[in-house]
Structure 1
Amino acid sequence: MFNKNWTIGLFGILLVFSYFLFQFVSPTLKINHLVREMDQSSVVNTSMKHVVLIAQELDNPFWRMVEKGAKEAAVQRGIAIDYMGPIRINPSEQTKLLEKSIAAKPDAILVQGIKDPQYAQLINKAIDQGIPVITVDADEPESQRLAYVGTDNREAGKRMGELVIKDAAERGHIGVIIGSELADNQQLRLEGFRSRMSKMPGYEIVAVRSSNISRIQAARQTEALLKQYPRIQTMVGFSSLDAAGIVEGLKAANRADVSVFGFDDLEVTRQGIADGVITASVVQQPQEIGAQSVELLDAFFKGDSFAVQHVISTNILDQNHLKSKVSSP
């Protein structure tokens, strides 16, 4: 009996070990597979320009829309897009992807900046090897990238502040969820938000937590924040999955008296606004970001010049905007 239990226990340990080993190596295997696909596609059609688009997270809805815009613009211009990214947000995997992409010698690279000296050096290495690089969503201003295409994240944070002041009915104690403490775009949004709220008497940012671009983590962080700071009356999320996670955290904490503000235009965010559990969202235009990035590369390939900064505007999504879209023909 003892030997049987020992065998079952050992088998269980091996299963757990195998699971964590798979989780560790699978992103790297995916990276290698995508890069091999890129190499093969280059061989099949050498007449097309091949551009690598490296996302922050492979299946994140925001990045899939960037991919959609880039690929639609690329088809019209005879450009092939090779889309890749970490399975889960992981700056070191983004760095590995950039390294491998440079080694594969594509015609250009579109990549999110992560404001890291090593990353900037890699971008410079690509430029030195004749591979143009454009940063999207978050800039890498210390590098030699050709241009940045994306939101003015500091201004987006200020715009969020205006929303809270306008619609939170002086619910002055604010909890904030950001997607990542390492992502420059998240820090800039927070910086812009702080700058606007600091000028408004009666408002206080009580605490800031990171969701790691995870709806589940946003929910857990919200529940923990409300337990630690029950006086919080307003919750703000600065990455696309945060608002939905905040709503789930409020339910878990049995709090229906908290105003919620989000970022981006996901179906779950729209539904939350329609149901009245999310007040409003600051909306980026990821599809336009992808399209403009490819348009700039096409201009570069043709020898045209262009500006370094290409800011894509944000919109506001609330119940009024939802109703106007439904009523419009």
Structure 2
Amino acid sequence: MDDTPKNAQIFRYHFVVIAQNINETFWQSVKSGAQNAGQKYAAAVEFIGPEVQDDDEELKYLNIAIACNVDGIAVYVTDKSKLSPVINKAVERGINVVTIESDDKNSRRKAYIGPNNYEIGAAQASLVREAVNGESNVALIFGGNYAENQDSSEELLQSFKKSIESDKNIRLKSVKNSGSSYFGAEKIIRNILYDEPDINTVVCTSSDDTLEIARVLLDLNKTSDITVIGYGYSSQVRDYIKNGVIFGSVYENPEKTGSKSIECLVNLLNMKDVSSNINTGVYKVTRNNLVSNSDGL
């Protein structure tokens, strides 16, 4: 007699998604997308990763997934020197691996799923140009995924520089890193306000940093002193845009990254053609298109 509950789902696949930081707002959205896709494809999806960015802990989870002989792995790559050999080991053992948000082209991964960093840098520069009436001295703050990944941050930085090089009114004065601490952005914005008064525009690369910087500027009644170009499309970010605390935001669709990673792993198992680079898109939002803007979401 079958004791399986009538409503119990029978899984055909077992996938693991390894995040950079499972507590970050961004990665929780990736998790949601992956798990929704898991339901669609009858796949059990485990979402694991360090609570604070830790290369060695990511490596541990990757090795555990291989030892469990899962059907596929989606992994964020921080330190290529550590992760590449293990990604290759997984593929050699017949486990498909895709990279998400951060690529490792020289490994044997099957595909990269995520946004194009050059597009993000160009979009951020475009928003600065829209926001500026006169001269703008910019601080670019790397946080979230970009805080620990040198390749991704360098691609974004070079794109941003190239996009503003013909505009004499916009100058990149400072590049900062908020690290893995939630309060890193608070320290940075306070230092800018008191030690770098010439900076009047801040560009963020993470939703958490955006919210923290907006909160500090509100608390100090300094929202008119600093133009904020944010990152992300959460309800809190949209509220800050609506109220003029943030000028605009560049965002991607992390849920799409999560769902596409599972879809890709399913297609690989079923011997379907898969693109080696799946671009999930980059979008911009300001108060002018806040109501109608739902691209990719």
1:193 equivalent in alignment to 2:160: yes
Deviation of the 1:71 alpha carbon: 1.3
- Residue 136 of structure 1 corresponds to 100
Corresponding letter in the other structure for 2:203: V
Between Structure 1 and Structure 2, the one with more helix by share is: 1
Work out the percentage of aligned pairs sharing the same amino acid.
28
Distance 2:255 2:22 in 1: 15
- Residue 266 of structure 1 corresponds to 234
The number of equivalent residue pairs is 283
Report the TM-score when normalising by structure 2: 0.88
Corresponding letter in the other structure for 1:319: R
Q: Greater shift after overlay, 45-54 or 93-102?
A: 45-54
- Residue 280 of structure 2 corresponds to 312
- Residue 250 of structure 2 corresponds to 282
- Residue 182 of structure 1 corresponds to 148
Corresponding letter in the other structure for 1:182: E
- What secondary structure is seen at the aligned counterpart in 2 of 1:241? helix
Q: Greater shift after overlay, 261-270 or 177-186?
A: 177-186
Residue deviations 1:248-273, cap 9 Å, x none?
34356653321000111122211211
Q: 1:298 to 1:265 in 2, by over 3 A?
A: same
- Residue 63 of structure 1 corresponds to 27
Residues 187-226 of structure 1: matches in 2 within 5 Å?
187-226=154-193
Q: Greater shift after overlay, 167-176 or 255-264?
A: 167-176
Distance 2:73 2:62 in 1: 8
Residue deviations 1:84-110, cap 9 Å, x none?
111122222222221222222211100
Deviation of the 1:320 alpha carbon: 2.1
Q: 1:95 aligns with which of 43, 56, 59?
A: 59
Corresponding letter in the other structure for 1:107: D
Distance 2:75 2:214 in 1: 31
Residues 287-298 of structure 1: matches in 2 within 5 Å?
287-298=255-266
Distance 2:13 2:194 in 1: 54
Residue deviations 1:101-129, cap 9 Å, x none?
22222111001122521211111111111
- Residue 5 of structure 2 corresponds to none
Would you say the 8 A contact 1:49–1:107 is kept in 2? yes
- Residue 23 of structure 1 corresponds to none
Q: Greater shift after overlay, 179-188 or 143-152?
A: 179-188
Report the TM-score when normalising by structure 1: 0.80
Q: 1:76 aligns with which of 40, 46, 60?
A: 40
Q: Looking at both structures, which has the greater relative contact order when contacts are Cα pairs under 8 Å and sequence separation is at least 6?
A: 2
Q: Greater shift after overlay, 149-158 or 237-246?
A: 237-246
Would you say the 8 A contact 2:147–2:178 is kept in 1? no
Deviation of the 1:185 alpha carbon: 2.9
- Residue 120 of structure 1 corresponds to 84
- Residue 41 of structure 1 corresponds to none
Distance 2:199 2:159 in 1: 20
Q: Greater shift after overlay, 186-195 or 279-288?
A: 186-195
Larger radius of gyration: 1
- Residue 268 of structure 2 corresponds to 300
Distance 2:126 2:120 in 1: 10
Distance 1:251 1:264 in 2: 19
Corresponding letter in the other structure for 1:159: A
Corresponding letter in the other structure for 2:197: P
Residue deviations 1:5-51, cap 9 Å, x none?
xxxxxxxxxxxxxxxxxxxxxxxxxxxxxxxxxxxxxxxx9962110
Residue deviations 1:143-191, cap 9 Å, x none?
1100001100121111110110122223421111111443143332222
Q: Greater shift after overlay, 128-137 or 225-234?
A: 225-234
Distance 2:59 2:98 in 1: 15
Deviation of the 1:62 alpha carbon: 1.3
Would you say the 8 A contact 1:110–1:134 is kept in 2? yes
RMSD of Structure 2 on Structure 1 (CA)? 2.1
- Residue 158 of structure 1 corresponds to 122
Q: Unpaired runs of 5+ in structure 1?
A: 1-44
Corresponding letter in the other structure for 1:204: R
Would you say the 8 A contact 2:285–2:293 is kept in 1? no
Q: Unpaired runs of 5+ in structure 2?
A: 1-8
Corresponding letter in the other structure for 1:61: T
